[in-house]
Structure 1
Amino acid sequence: MRAPGPAAGLVADHCHKLIGLLGPAAESTLRDIVAQCGQPLRVLLVGDVSTGKSTLLNALLSDSRAETAFKETTSRVTWYHGPHLGALGLPDPSHRAVAAGFPLADRLVLGDSPGLNTSSENPDETRRMMGGGDLAGAAAAFVCVLGTGLVSGLWAKHLEGLAALSAGPFDLVGNMVLVMAKIDLIDDDIGNLERRTRDSTPLAFRFAGVNQLMAAAARTGAVDGRTLAVLDALRALPSFEAWPPESWPEVADDLSGLFSDTDLKAFEDSVGAPELLPELVRATADMDHPSAVAAVFERMSGLAALESVLADIAEDADLFTTTAVLLRLRRLAARLPDDPAAQVRSAIAAVTSSRQYQDLWPRAAARLMRHTSVGDGLDPDDLDTALRLLSGLTCPPAAAAAALTRWSARSADPFADSRTRHLARLVQDAALRVLAEPGSEETP
Structure 2
Amino acid sequence: MPVFLSRTLPALIAALMLAPVAAPAQNLFAPAIRVNDAVITNYELQQRAAMLELLNSPGNAAETARDDLIDDRLRLQAARSIGVQVTEAEILEGMEEFAGRADLSREEFLQALTQGGIAEETFRDFVRAGVAWRSFVRQRFPGEAQVFDVEVDRAIAGNRTGSNIRVLLSEIIIPAPPPQAERARAIAEEISTYTTEAQFSAAAREYSATQSRENGGRLPWQDIQELPPVLRRVAQSLSPGEVSDPLPITNGVALFQLRGIEETGYTAPEIAQVDYATYLIPGGLSAEAQARARVISSKADRCDDLYGIAKGQPANVLERRTAAPSQLPDDIAIELSKLDPGETSAALTRSNGQTLMMLMLCSRDREATPEGQDEDARRDEVRLQLRNRRVGQIAERYLADLRANAYIAEE
Q: TM-score, normalised by structure 2?
A: 0.23
Counting helix residues as a fraction of each chain, which structure ranks higher?
1
Q: TM-score, normalised by structure 1?
A: 0.21
Structure showing greater Rg: 1
